[in-house]
Amino acid sequence: EAGVAQSPRYKIIEKRQSVAFWCNPISGHATLYWYQQILGQGPKLLIQFQNNGVVDDSQLPKDRFSAERLKGVDSTLKIQPAKLEDSAVYLCASSQGGHSTDTQYFGPGTRLTVL
Amino acid sequence: GNSVTQMEGPVTLSEEAFLTINCTYTATGYPSLFWYVQYPGEGLQLLLKATKADDKGSNKGFEATYRKETTSFHLEKGSVQVSDSAVYFCALNPSSGSARQLTFGSGTQLTVLP
C-alpha cells in the first residue's frame, strides 16, 4: 500500500514570496491533516479536513496561510507572503476516519527555508 | 487544554542498554496515546499506541503502558540497538471534541553507540 506522498521535499524562498505544498493521502483515507514542525519541537496541527470539508483550522494563520482539499483527495497548502518564522517542516498526514483511536500516517514532509 | 511532556534529551546509550523515555500528559477524559519515531531524513512513523487505561502497546521490542492514575505513557526497551537511533515523540489524541488532532511532546533524541 502506498504511503502519504508529499512534494516538493525541499524548498528555499525569500521572505515575502509565495510557496505551495502538495499532499496525496493514502487511498481511501477520509481525514487529512497538515502539521507544522519547527526545528526541535513536536508537530503542531495547522488544519484538518474530513473529506473535502474543514474540521479544524483554529491554528492556521489565515492572513497568510490557505489550504484546500478538492474532491476530498489531494490537498495543497499555500503560504503568501512567507515570513522568516515560517521556516519549518510541513507534514501531511491521513487517517481512515476522524476517531481518536485512528492511526495517523505521515508523509516525509516538505522542509521550507525562508531567507 | 491538552498537553504532553516528554523527558528532555538528548539521550545517549550504549548498545544493549535499557531504555526509558518518560512521557506524561494532561487531558480530559480518556485520550488515546501514541509513540511516533522519526528516523534521520524520514517522516514520522507510528511505533505503538494504546487506546484505553492499562492497555500495553508494543512493537519492535518497545513497550509502553497507559497509566491513567499517573497520566503517563513511558516508553521502554530492554536492549537498544544502533538502528534505534532516532527522535521519539509521545502524542495524545483527545477522546472528545470535534477535532481529532494529535498533540505532540517536544521529542527526545536517542543516540545508541556501538
Nearest residue, CB atoms, B46 vs list A98, A103, A109: A103
What pLDDT score does A1 carry? 65
Whether A4 and A93 have beta carbons less than 8 Å apart is answered as yes
How far apart (Å, rounded) are the C-alpha atoms in residues A26 and B114?
37
Residues of chain A with pLDDT under 70: 1
- State the pLDDT at residue A102: 82
pLDDT at residue A48, as a whole number: 93
Q: What is the pLDDT of residue B97?
A: 56
Q: How many Cβ atoms sit within 10 Å of the Cβ of residue A62?
A: 10
Q: In sequence order, what are the residues at sequence separation of 6 or more whose Cβ sits closer than 8 angstroms to the Cβ of residue B92? A: B2, B4, B25, B27, B31, B32, B33, B34, B102, B103
The alpha carbon of residue B15 is apart from the nearest alpha carbon of chain A, in Å, by 25
For chain B, say whether A75 makes contact (Cβ under 8 Å): no
Q: Does residue A111 belong to the interface with chain B, where contact is any CB pair within 8 Å? A: no
A109 touches chain B (CB under 8 A): yes
- Measured between alpha carbons, how far is B38 from A49 in angstroms, rounded to an integer? 24
Give tens-digit pLDDT for B33-53: 999 999 988 889 999 999 989
Burial of B1 (0-12, 13-18, 19+ CB in 10 A): exposed
Q: Count A/B contacts: CB-CB distance under 8 Å.
A: 67
- What pLDDT does residue B40 have? 85
B5–chain A nearest CA distance, Å:
11
User: Is A103 in the B-facing interface, judged by CB distances under 8 Å?
Assistant: yes
More confidently predicted of A87 and B7? A87
pLDDT attached to residue B39: 92
- Whole-angstrom distance, CA of residue B76 vs CA of residue B20: 5
pLDDT of residue B43: 85
In angstroms, what is the C-alpha Rg of chain A?
Answer: 13
The predicted-structure confidence for B60-102, as pLDDT tens digits, reads as follows 999 999 999 999 999 999 999 999 999 999 999 887 655 567 8
Residues with Cβ < 8 Å from B100, sequence gap 6 or more?
A31, A48, A55, A95, A98, A99, A100, A102, B93, B94
Q: Would you call B44 an interface residue with chain A, using a CB distance cutoff of 8 Å? A: yes
